[in-house]
């Protein structure tokens, strides 16, 4: 059925305040890119803020773009990593003129490109931390055979209370189709695209690593390594042919190790780059520790390989025909795999070829050959012939017998030693069963590693409301796995709960105080009621702890609530003219709809290879809202304390957005009802 052309041509601004699929209310237009208009939206079904990206109207009739968007986002819906802005949904609402839209996690803050424009050059430690987070996200995706394909600062989101997150997953193929129709659409991505990705049109994890090299250079200098002026083809030729610039060429003082990492990431040939993001993380972690503890950074990852500045002119030259016409590589899916066809796009000026000089190889020399029995020196042969025959005949070898016996003894002993070493080498290595390190302090984990012969390596440190400072909240591989002795177990370490300043809720209503405290991540503690002549009835008289103090998120704030001025007792008995209409009300009585009831929800995370995002929603007298969203390891036993209000409260436990438990009370059952 044909969609409504009038609706389809509606501008993005006309979609504000509209509801897509009776679920996503578009609250605010945040901007437009080459393919999408981006909105801040509210998910009415899950009661959370999300990002909704709607396909722009002029792409809506392109079946290749529509198919690529739906397939690409469908492939990444299962990604759940702290460094990835999670994709939630893909859909369409033809009635509203939206042929395709994407839904993903909402992150408040600025993109990395804006931070670079404001603050570059960034501190070395900041740039290294940013790159480590991005590399960790790319490694997680690579382990699941997913690459990003369009890594650039505009797709990196940073916020004051959230980790660095990489967004726009699953849309690179659709962007390639759009760019094949209009090369100008490729311009935002061109400064971050590897030469081989430009030449083939096929995104790869190695291409994503190349983009990280450009981002690292840009963070530390405020400039692009090959410039950003000109059209996309001009920029691509610079990336293919020009040598990789040094970070110190920009009048910066950058340690040799960081410059070497940048050079390796920006190598023309993929084989000269890091093999995986995990390999990059190893070098970045070494640099981070050196910056922290004042160690030397005079080394370089290029010390044992040639400088990665060999031109890739042939790859890019192949994208130009003899008439000087630029050829945009267009990805196609053939039998479920990527392929490439070339689609010509007129370019006004022919591009001269860059021919690398050819150096003649030197012919091999015979004097380097080792001497053999067939190559006896003629002079030596002459000397042997000149020895008198009678002298050679009378020579005695009887003294060699003891020497031969001695040498034979040494030979036998040596053979025995070598055979013993061979047997030792052939013994199977010992396996270690990885213990559960989650919840243990870093010191305990390292002590356990020394005892059981495995190494503990820190991958990242993040604030975590559940785990105390210096304790482990995530690990890889999971507990119970078998590894070889002296292999690494990587861990994520908590920096403790994020601290917040207790806000002032004096002389405001209880409902207002609750909203203010919960917004800061604090919880309502004990409530008491007192007479107070200066404070209106129902308003807060006192809070404990007081405003201005630093407390961990989740701290309970006790409140004293005013009952108003104390009534004055009469001096003598006064006869009542009329009987009381209503019985007296005890001011300490809690209204049933405001009665708080708490519960500890226990959930066993499945033992698999996935990361798990656990979310608990509550429906009570105050509506439906999300109480907890946390990342947990496979196999964790998760106790989570929650609270609701009113006489009927329902808690729902979701694992990666799939309902697992539903608990209704009070009274509370012994365990949550398993979701059907």
Residues of the chain with pLDDT > 70: what percent? 74
pLDDT tens, 46-98?
889 999 999 888 887 788 888 888 888 878 888 889 899 988 888 888 888 88
Residue 389, pLDDT > 50, answer no
* pLDDT at res. 418: 58
Distance of CA 311 to the CA centre of its chain: 31
Q: Which two tokens stand for residue 195?
A: 């030469």
Burial label for 16, CB within 10 Å (0-12, 13-18, 19+), is middle
Residues composing the chain:
676
CA–CA separation, 566 and 545 (whole Å):
26
* Residues 582-624 pLDDT 10s: 455 454 544 555 678 888 888 888 888 777 888 888 888 888 8
Could you report the per-residue pLDDT of 244-268, keeping only the tens digit for each?
A: 998 887 666 899 999 999 999 999 9
Domain 403-497 -> CATH class:
alpha beta
Tens digits of residue pLDDT in 441-495: 888 898 888 888 899 988 888 888 788 888 898 888 888 888 888 888 988 888 8
Domain 596-676 has CATH 2.60.40: yes
**CB burial string 44-67: b at 16+ within 10 A, e below:** eebebebbbbbbbbebbebebbbe
Q: How confident is the model at residue 173 (pLDDT cuts 50, 70, 90)?
A: confident
DSSP state of 535: S
Question: What gap in Å lies between CA 498 and CA 494, rounded to an integer?
Answer: 10
Give residue-wise pLDDT tens across range 112-169: 998 899 888 998 999 999 999 999 999 999 999 999 999 999 999 987 666 789 998 9
Confidence check: pLDDT of 424 > 90 = no
Rounded Cα distance between 396 and 407, Å, is 19
Per the CB < 8 A criterion, the answer to whether 149 and 172 are in contact is yes
How many percent of the chain have pLDDT more than 90? 22
Domain ranges of the chain: 5-105, 110-345, 403-497, 502-566, 596-676
Q: Under CATH, which architecture does the 110-345 domain have?
A: Orthogonal Bundle (1.10)
Chain position carrying tokens 């946390």 = 630
How many Å apart are CA 165 and CA 158, to the nearest integer? Answer: 7
* Contact present, 289 and 333 (Cβ < 8 Å): no
| β-bridge partners, 664 | 650
Would the pLDDT of 382 be above 60? no
Check residue 320 and report its DSSP letter.
B
Mean pLDDT for all residues in the chain? 77
Sign of CA dihedral 167, 332, 101, 657: negative
Q: Which distant-in-sequence residues (6+ apart) come within 8 Å of 671 by Cβ?
A: 602
Closest CA relative to residue 448, chosen from 433, 461, 459, 460? 433
Element containing residue 258 per DSSP (H, E):
helix 256-265
**Taking the alpha carbons of 20, 25, 27, 30 in that order, is the dihedral positive or negative?**
negative
Quickly count: other Cβ atoms within 10 Å of residue 209's Cβ.
28
Characterise 402 by phi-psi region: left (phi > 0), alpha (psi -120 to 50), beta (else): alpha
Give the pLDDT of residue 479: 84
Architecture of domain 502-566: 2-Layer Sandwich (3.30)
Q: Domain 5-105: which topology?
A: Phosphorylase Kinase; domain 1 (3.30.200)
Output the six-digit token pair for 497. Answer: 């709960």
The residue-averaged pLDDT of 550-579 equals 72
CA-based angle 455:458:463, to the nearest 5? 145
Do domains 403-497 and 502-566 share one topology? The answer is: yes
Q: Which residues contact 610 (CB under 8 A, 6 or more apart)?
A: 78, 80, 634, 656
Specify the higher pLDDT residue, 57 or 23. Answer: 23
The winner for highest mean pLDDT among 312-326, 377-391, 643-657 is 643-657
Q: Can you say whether the dihedral through the CA atoms of 563, 565, 566, 569 is positive or negative?
A: negative
């Amino acid at each position: 059925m044909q969609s409504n052309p009038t609706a389809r041509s509606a501008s993005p601004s006309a979609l504000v305040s509209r509801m897509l699929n009776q679920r996503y209310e578009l609250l605010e237009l945040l901007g437009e890119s080459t393919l999408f208009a981006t909105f801040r939206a509210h998910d009415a079904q899950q009661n959370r803020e999300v990002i909704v990206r709607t396909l722009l109207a002029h792409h809506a009739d392109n079946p290749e773009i529509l198919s690529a968007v739906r397939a690409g986002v469908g492939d990444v819906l299962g990604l759940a990593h702290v460094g990835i802005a999670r994709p939630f949904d893909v859909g369409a609402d033809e009635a509203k003129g939206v042929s395709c839209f994407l839904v993903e996690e909402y992150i408040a803050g600025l993109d990395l490109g804006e931070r670079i424009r404001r603050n570059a050059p960034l501190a070395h430690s900041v740039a290294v931390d940013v790159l480590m987070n991005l590399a960790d996200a790319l490694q997680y995706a690579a382990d699941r055979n997913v690459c990003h394909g369009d890594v650039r600062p505009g797709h990196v989101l940073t916020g004051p209370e959230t980790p660095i997150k990489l967004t726009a997953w699953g849309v690179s193929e659709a962007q390639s189709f759009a760019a094949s129709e209009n090369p100008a659409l490729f311009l935002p991505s061109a400064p971050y695209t590897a030469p081989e990705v430009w030449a083939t049109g096929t995104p790869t994890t190695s291409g994503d690593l190349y983009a990280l090299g450009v981002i690292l250079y840009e963070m530390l200098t405020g400039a692009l390594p090959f410039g950003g002026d000109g059209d996309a083809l001009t920029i691509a030729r610079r990336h293919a042919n020009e040598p990789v610039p040094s970070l110190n060429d920009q009048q910066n003082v950058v340690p040799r190790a960081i410059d070497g990492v940048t050079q390796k990431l920006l190598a023309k040939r993929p084989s000269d780059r890091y093999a995986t993001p995990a390999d990059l993380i190893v070098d970045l972690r070494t640099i981070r520790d050196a910056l922290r503890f004042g160690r030397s950074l005079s080394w370089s990852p290029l010390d044992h390989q040639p400088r990665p500045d060999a031109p890739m002119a042939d790859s890019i030259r192949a994208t130009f025909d003899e008439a000087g016409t630029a050829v945009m590589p267009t990805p196609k899916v053939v039998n479920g795999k990527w392929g490439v066809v070339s689609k010509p796009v007129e370019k006004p000026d022919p591009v001269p070829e860059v021919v690398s000089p050819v150096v003649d190889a030197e012919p091999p020399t015979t004097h380097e050959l080792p001497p053999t029995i067939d190559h006896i020196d003629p002079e030596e042969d002459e000397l042997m012939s000149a020895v008198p025959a009678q002298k050679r005949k009378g020579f005695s070898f009887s003294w060699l017998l003891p020497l031969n016996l001695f040498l034979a003894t040494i030979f036998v002993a040596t053979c025995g030693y070598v055979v013993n070493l061979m047997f030792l080498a052939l013994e199977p290595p010992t396996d270690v069963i990885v213990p559960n390190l989650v919840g243990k302090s870093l010191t305990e984990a390292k002590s356990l590693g020394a005892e059981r012969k495995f190494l503990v390596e820190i991958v990242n440190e993040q604030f975590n409301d559940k785990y105390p400072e210096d304790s482990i909240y995530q690990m890889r591989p999971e507990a119970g796995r078998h590894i070889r002795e002296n292999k690494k177990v990587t861990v994520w370490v908590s920096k403790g709960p994020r601290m917040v300043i207790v806000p002032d809720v004096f002389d405001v209503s209880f409902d207002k105080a609750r909203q203010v405290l919960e917004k800061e991540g604090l919880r309502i503690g004990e409530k008491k009621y007192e007479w107070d002549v200066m404070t209106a009835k129902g308003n807060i008289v006192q809070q404990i702890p007081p405003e201005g103090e630093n407390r961990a998120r989740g701290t309970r704030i006790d409140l004293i609530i005013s009952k108003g001025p104390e009534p004055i007792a009469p001096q003598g008995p006064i006869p009542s003219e009329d009987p009381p209409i209503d019985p007296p009300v005890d001011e300490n009585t809690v209204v049933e709809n405001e009665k708080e009831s708490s519960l500890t929800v226990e959930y066993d995370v499945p033992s698999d290879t996935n990361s798990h995002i656990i979310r608990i929603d509550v429906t009570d007298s105050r509506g439906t809202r999300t109480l907890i969203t946390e990342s947990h390891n496979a196999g964790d036993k998760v106790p989570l304390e929650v609270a609701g209000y009113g006489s009927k409260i329902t808690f729902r436990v979701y694992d990666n957005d799939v309902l697992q438990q539903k608990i209704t009370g009070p009274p509370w059952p012994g365990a949550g009802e398993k979701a059907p």
